[in-house]
Amino acid sequence: MHDEDTPPSPHSILLLALGLTLLTAFAFQGSRGLYESTEGRYALCAYETMTSGNILEPVLSGTPHWSKPPLAYLPIEAGIALLGKNAWGARSAQGVIFVLTGFFVFITGKALWGSLSGAFAALVYGTAPFTVAAANTISTDNLLVLLHSMTMAFFWLTMHRHRAFYRTVFWASLGLAFFCKGPVGLFPLAGILPAYGLLRRQSRETPRLFSLMGILAFALTGLAWYAVEILRHPELLQIWLLHETMGRLVSDEFHRNAEFHKIFTLYAPILFLGTGPWILFFIPKRKHVGKVLRGVLNPLCHSAPARFTLGAFLLPLLLLLVNHSRLPLYLLPLFLPLALVMGHGLAQGVTHGALKPRTIMSTAVLLTVTLVTLKGASAYYPSHRDMAQLSRAVAPILQEAPHQTLVLVNSEPLNGLEFYLSRRVELRQLPKLNAAEAAETENDCTLPSGTLLLARSKHLDAVSAYLPDDAYSTRYKDSYWCVAQLNLPLVLEK
């Protein structure tokens, strides 16, 4: 261990950061079942797309699924191909992505403020509770943030090393980010363009950011797939522009926390608490901390790194606040500039004697142990969203009646359950009618006796009043889910 007054070597901090990131990324990564709705949807779509034979056109429940480009599913497909059709296979790529992101955070921090700042930034990113939780969740946001971190790293490598190769890779990374999630992929430009403008004004020797090869690289990686698919399916232009872009920005079309108060109840706690105990190092308890923070953030008018990190945080945050679609993982890109600034602040604190290296390392280790323990415990936490738990309850019933249809009533699709059971689950609505009224209702369909109904327990209990006493037999029931088998034919609304 280092002497209390001797700054640790960047190499040792980087090794610690990467080692702890590996632990938080892969320990118990597949122990918890897939949660609905996001994880189940991504896993099932990736599996169906992989088995369809055309990985360029995503498929979900047997039909084309255009909400995300195929790049979002490729890492999941690779994991399933390598480790099998299970939570480990579906989620393992998120761990790889997480470790790579931490490495590029180090590269960016090193280019901004030196190796020690970069190593501490990687340490913060790899052990922050929110980023670790995100890495244990199947989504496109983890891949997006990896591509953001690559874009940032190669921008600064271009500025410092003046090589055309880095500039081309910068544009290719930005293009892949756009390919991954559309316009949100361009978030890094919010920090890059202000910093680049300042660098150009400060020195004429600043390398050019724009080049023909760079623009071609962006077009090939970011635009080619969209162009090809719009030519094949012209209706996609309207879907992507009006629904996937404008529908999320200005309306509640997707019912994702559009209420204004969600800014304070959903986003604010994540931003303030998502880094966990790392934020405590920046609470001004001692006189040195104010000096450290001023060194990190000032002066804005003359510091390209400060403009870069503030731009990369503030403008995307503003866009996320005005967006009417709000989910926790949308904030993940903001943790790149947060980790960079915090890493530099820790390095400054150690250099100025305000922080002890041993305290920082101990915090990182204890935080890692806590997060890994929570990941392991999550596999045993009962949740109605855990489709592995539900499938273990449903599978024995299906084995007894393998030819019976499984019908999910009064619910959104359970893609994760289909992923585990390897069979389709039909969707229907239970009628609030008595038998005589139901028989006279037009455009209805009848489920034969023996059909298995899967429903929320409260839904089936509420509808049971409209059915004969002997209409069904309960095969499984917990506080949330219920499986019932029909003893009589049942009329359902289409």
> What pLDDT score was predicted for residue 442?
46
**Residues 47-66 pLDDT 10s:** 999 999 899 999 998 899 98
Give the Cβ contact number of residue 78 at 10 Å.
16
Please state which of the ranges 222-231, 242-251, 273-282 shows the lowest mean pLDDT: 242-251
Distance of CA 286 to the CA centre of its chain: 37
Tell me the average pLDDT of the chain.
Answer: 88
- Mean pLDDT throughout 74-87? 96
**Residues 322-353 pLDDT 10s:** 887 788 999 999 999 999 999 999 999 998 88
Q: Can you tell me the distance from the alpha carbon of 103 to that of 121, in angstroms, rounded to the nearest whole number?
A: 10
Q: Can you tell me the distance from the alpha carbon of 230 to that of 385, in angstroms, rounded to the nearest whole number?
A: 35
Cα dist from 113 to 107, 116, 290, whole Å: 10, 8, 19
Residue with tokens 């498929």: 59
> What pLDDT score was predicted for residue 353?
83
Coil, strand or helix at 58: coil
Please report the DSSP string for 5-47 in residue order. Answer: TSPPPHHHHHHHHHHHHHHHHHTTTTTSPPBTTHHHHHHHHHH
Q: Can you tell me the distance from the alpha carbon of 305 to that of 195, in angstroms, rounded to the nearest whole number?
A: 7
> What pLDDT score was predicted for residue 244?
64
Residue 273 has pLDDT above 90, yes or no: yes
> What pLDDT score was predicted for residue 123?
98
**Pair 118, 110: CB distance under 8 Å:** yes
- Mean pLDDT throughout 243-256? 56
Coil, strand or helix at 491: strand
Residue 39 has pLDDT above 80, yes or no: yes
Cα dist from 278 to 60, 275, 331, 359, whole Å: 40, 6, 18, 11
89-121 burial: b if 16+ Cβ within 10 Å, else e: bbbbbbbbbbbbbbbbbbbbbbbbbebbbbbbb
- Mean pLDDT throughout 76-94? 96
- Quote the crossing angle between the two packed helices 10-26 and 115-127, to the nearest 10°: 20
- Strands 426-428 and 406-409: what pairing? parallel
Give the rounded percent of residues in the chain with a pLDDT score beyond 70: 87
> What band does 385 get if pLDDT is binned at 50, 70 and 90?
very high
Residue 426 has pLDDT above 50, yes or no: yes
- Mean pLDDT throughout 89-113? 97
**Pair 115, 10: CB distance under 8 Å:** yes
Q: Can you tell me the distance from the alpha carbon of 417 to that of 390, in angstroms, rounded to the nearest whole number?
A: 7
Q: Can you tell me the distance from the alpha carbon of 360 to that of 337, in angstroms, rounded to the nearest whole number?
A: 19
> What band does 259 get if pLDDT is binned at 50, 70 and 90?
confident
Check: pTM over 0.95? Answer yes or no: no
**Pair 449, 486: CB distance under 8 Å:** yes
Residue 5 has pLDDT above 80, yes or no: no
Cis ω before 37 (30° cut-off from 0):
yes
Residue 434 has pLDDT above 50, yes or no: no
> What pLDDT score was predicted for residue 482?
92
Q: Residue 428 is inside which H or E element, if any? A: strand 426-428
DSSP assignment letter at 355: S
> What pLDDT score was predicted for residue 249?
55
